[in-house]
């Protein structure tokens, strides 16, 4: 019973993480669309900002990498059925949360 409950809980947490990745993917897509339609609203080339804002191609490239990372999380959560799926999803979640925390730190 406990093994079945643990498996079900792991699956539910995986689906929740997949939903979070999907929401983040929508946010990244909207931000990229906004950047491409109104590039003057972004501080490209300004001093004392992240290297991501060096120029438009760099920003688009980083956004594309982030989108691919989130698609990998969605794929892990919804489509991969492996005996280590819970560990892989947890590893993906921890790396994603670490990336978010590092990006929120002041430079």
Report how far apart the first and last C-alpha atoms of the chain are (Å, whole number): 49
Backbone angles phi, psi at 105, to 5 degrees: -70, 145
Tell me if the pTM is above 0.75: yes
Both structure tokens of 88: 């892989």
Judged against a pLDDT cut of 70, whether residue 4 lies above it is answered with: yes
Range of the domain at 33: 1-104
Nearest to 76 by CA among 95, 91, 60, 62: 91
- Cβ-contact 53, 59 below 8 angstroms: yes
pLDDT digits (tens, 9 = 90+) for 56-89: 898 999 999 999 999 999 998 888 777 777 788 8
How many distinct structural domains can be found in the chain?
1
């Amino acid at each position: 019973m406990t093994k079945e409950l643990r498996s079900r809980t792991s699956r539910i947490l995986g689906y929740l993480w997949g939903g979070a990745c999907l929401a983040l993917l929508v946010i990244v897509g909207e931000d990229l669309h906004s950047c491409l339609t109104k590039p003057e609203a972004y501080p490209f080339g300004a001093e004392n900002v992240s290297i991501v804002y060096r120029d438009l191609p760099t920003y688009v490239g980083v956004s594309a990498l982030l989108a691919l990372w989130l698609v990998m999380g969605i794929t892990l959560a919804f489509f991969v059925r492996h005996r280590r799926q819970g560990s892989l999803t947890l590893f993906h979640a921890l790396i994603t949360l670490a990336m978010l925390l590092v990006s929120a730190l002041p430079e």
